[in-house]
Amino acid sequence: MKQIILILLILLSFSILSAKEGGVIMNKTAVFAGGCFWCMQGPFEAEKGVIEVKAGYTGGSTKNPSYEEVSSGTTGHVEAVKVVFDPSVVSYERLLEIFWHQIDPTDAGGQFADRGTQYYTGIFYFDDEQKKAAEKSKKDIQASGMFDKPIVTAIRPATDFYEAEAYHQDYYKKNSFQYLLYKKGSGREEYLKETWEKTRDKSLRKKLTPLQYQVTQEEGTEPAFHNEYWDNHKDGIYVDIVSGEALFSSTDKFDSGTGWPSFTKPINKDAVVEKKDFSNFMFRTEVKSKNAKSHLGHVFNDGPQPTGLRYCMNSASLRFIPKEDMEKEGYKEYLKLFVK
């Protein structure tokens, strides 16, 4: 009887790990050191596909160190975060991008106001795949020309990770006021804004057409009936022109008569965020993409059933991917929308 129960438990475990197409998808772990771990949890926790983020200590020889011991700079440990993620939803490369955008990779003495070896930056890899991805990302950052000093962030094999004390976990949530004061006072906030936001803006100006930039970044509106997708009737999905996030499906598109592409709903509830918009002497609900924060358009309550909503979007914010191209462009998971 015990053997039968054991077999059933093993089968249950495999069924939990089962993923699309019958494959086995197991969650993976990444570890990053970016100075004060208070500032590192939030950016990763906001990413879809990240399951858990823990603040802690790694890289040293002391077993089960306390915060006070690590803060002394004598343990060899650095403050770090352990990120558990679903690789079928978010890639390790995307996590690397998030990491670089939280730090000053040229600082050899710590991070911002925090000085000492315990605040050194680092990427701790678990296998050759992560190592190669980390090394490539570091090389790309150095080659980008953004920095006139060498990138000093270390890439090291992962070692034991010790979770920090409970009061350090999600400090940015539990003590938001103190956290914001610290982030600003340490110089991190200003540096990240100056370094990454300005760089992103320059990159977008090169990547996007003037109209696409005006619409997505400056909340502009393109002309009705004179845009790319208002009368597109092909099967496929519409993704964010900036980030490639999947936003809308042709299965939810309808002719609203307004001259802009209109949909009854997003491709999933987490694809977009909505905010009140009082501009131009009107009261509306603005729609933005969740990750890239691109302005997409507005949503109104005059749409058809079953939702009664009209997501009135700008073609300039979108890129259409035909059904026949979805798999090769990495959107295979959305083909299920077209199965009747």
- CB count within 10 Å of CB 23 equals 9
Could you confirm whether 36 is annotated as catalytic? Answer: yes
Please state, in angstroms and rounded to a whole number, the distance separating the CA atoms of residues 178 and 109: 24
- Sheet containing strand 318-322, strands side by side: 246-249, 236-240, 318-322
- Sign of torsion over alpha carbons 310, 313, 318, 323: positive
Q: Which of 33, 36, 53, 242 is catalytic?
A: 36
The three-state secondary structure class of 127 is coil
Letter string b/e over residues 205-214, b meaning 16 or more CB atoms within 10 A of that residue's CB: eeebeeebbb
- Beta bridge partners, 33, equal 122
Could you confirm whether 312 is annotated as catalytic? Answer: yes
Helical H segments across the chain, by residue range:
2-17, 38-45, 67-71, 92-100, 128-143, 171-174, 176-185, 188-192, 198-207, 210-218
**For 54, phi and psi rounded to 5 degrees?**
-120, 135
- Beta bridge partners, 248, equal 238
Return the structure tokens found at 123: 């990427």
Letter string b/e over residues 27-39, b meaning 16 or more CB atoms within 10 A of that residue's CB: ebebbbbbbbbbb
CB-neighbour burial class of residue 248 (10 A; exposed 0-12, middle 13-18, buried 19+): buried
Q: Which of 55, 192, 299, 312 is catalytic?
A: 312
Which amino acids are annotated catalytic?
36, 312
